[in-house]
Amino acid sequence: MTETWIVGINPVEGALANDPERIRELLVEQNSKNARLNEIIAVARKRGIQVRTMGKEQLEKTSGESRHQGVVARYETPPMLGENDLEGLIEAAGHDALVLVLDGVTDPHNLGACLRSAAAAKVTAVVVPKDRAVGLTPTVRRASAGGADLVPMVAVTNLARALRTLKDAGVWITGLDGETEKTIYQVDFKGPVALVLGSEGDGMRRLTVDTCDFVAKIPMPGRMESLNVSVATGIVLFEVLRQRGVK
């Protein structure tokens, strides 16, 4: 059993709402004036979760986190999904399957923001490589504002093989790359699709690009060459929803 700390008001609220059975205890800052903490305590006690109060410095020392906002939760980490789980997730989603593939995102704030957008867009799964990428850390959870608890995250050892698994399941794959003529507005996203975005610095790896069915760019008429990966993720995810007529 692997445990981690979920840190901060929004991430703890998200875990209490979406995955309370994995919270082993709640640690709350003593004599805090934040009314939201009282609400969190009430919800935790209602769900039978042990609540302990302690001083601010002791809370920081126990959790190892300084930006705790007065609350941390000791959380049993669920087993990470793997490549073998992809087919079942795609089958359950059917025609509306929407997969986000992140090829080597290493910044935890970027991954958290991507998960937040993925949760808002009701993404079927987020696929990441096991190596050379950030995992589901407390910082990622905090940055996701609860999104980490709402979207299945699949870690794979071989990303190109995972993309071929998606293709075999009837999913069309579009990679984002600024060095191409086709734009995301010229790609048909109305069927089962996967969107692939590369790392913050280098973009998609060549083997990943070669495995995609289409490569497209976000048009930028301004004087910037690229966008932050989490911003690009939000733009393309909601272009998919726009094309699908989601209201």
Question: Is 227 flagged in the annotation as binding?
Answer: yes
The C-alpha atoms of residue 146 and residue 71 are separated, in whole angstroms, by 15
Count the alpha carbons within 13 Å of 203 in the hemisphere toward its beta carbon: 15
Q: What pLDDT score does 62 carry? A: 82
Strand partners, 227: none
- Which domains does the chain carry? 3-76 (3.30.1330.30), 83-244 (3.40.1280.10)
Percent share of the chain, pLDDT over 70:
98
The C-alpha atoms of residue 117 and residue 144 are separated, in whole angstroms, by 8
CB atoms within 10 A of CB 246: 11
Q: Which structure tokens are listed for 174?
A: 């579009």
Q: Which residue has the higher pLDDT, 36 or 80?
A: 36
pLDDT in tens, 113-133: 999 999 999 999 999 998 877
Task: Judge contact between 124 and 50, C-beta under 8 A.
Answer: no
Q: What pLDDT score does 246 carry? A: 84
The C-alpha atoms of residue 67 and residue 188 are separated, in whole angstroms, by 43
Count the alpha carbons within 13 Å of 53 in the hemisphere toward its beta carbon: 9
Q: What pLDDT score does 199 carry? A: 81
Question: Is 218 flagged in the annotation as binding?
Answer: yes
What are the strands, taking DSSP E only, across the chain? 3-7, 23-29, 50-54, 71-76, 98-103, 125-129, 153-156, 172-176, 193-198, 214-216
Question: Is 41 flagged in the annotation as binding?
Answer: no
Q: Which structure tokens are listed for 37?
A: 């903490």
Q: In Å, what is the CA distance from 10 to each residue of 7, 128, 147, 188?
A: 8, 24, 10, 36
Q: In Å, what is the CA distance from 198 to each residue of 125, 205, 240?
A: 16, 7, 18
Q: What pLDDT score does 179 carry? A: 85
Q: Average pLDDT for residues 182-195, to the nearest whole number?
A: 96
- Give 70's DSSP letter: T
pLDDT in tens, 26-57: 999 998 888 899 999 999 999 999 999 999 88
> 190: helix, coil or strand?
coil
Non-local CB neighbours of 239 within 8 Å, separated by 6+ positions: 184, 185, 189
The C-alpha atoms of residue 172 and residue 214 are separated, in whole angstroms, by 8
Q: In Å, what is the CA distance from 189 to each residue of 164, 181, 236?
A: 18, 17, 10
The C-alpha atoms of residue 189 and residue 137 are separated, in whole angstroms, by 31
Q: Average pLDDT for residues 106-110, to the nearest whole number?
A: 91
DSSP H or E segment with residue 138: helix 138-144
Q: What pLDDT score does 158 carry? A: 92
pLDDT band at 98 (very low <50, low <70, confident <90, very high): very high
Q: Average pLDDT for residues 162-187, to the nearest whole number?
A: 94
Q: What pLDDT score does 66 carry? A: 66
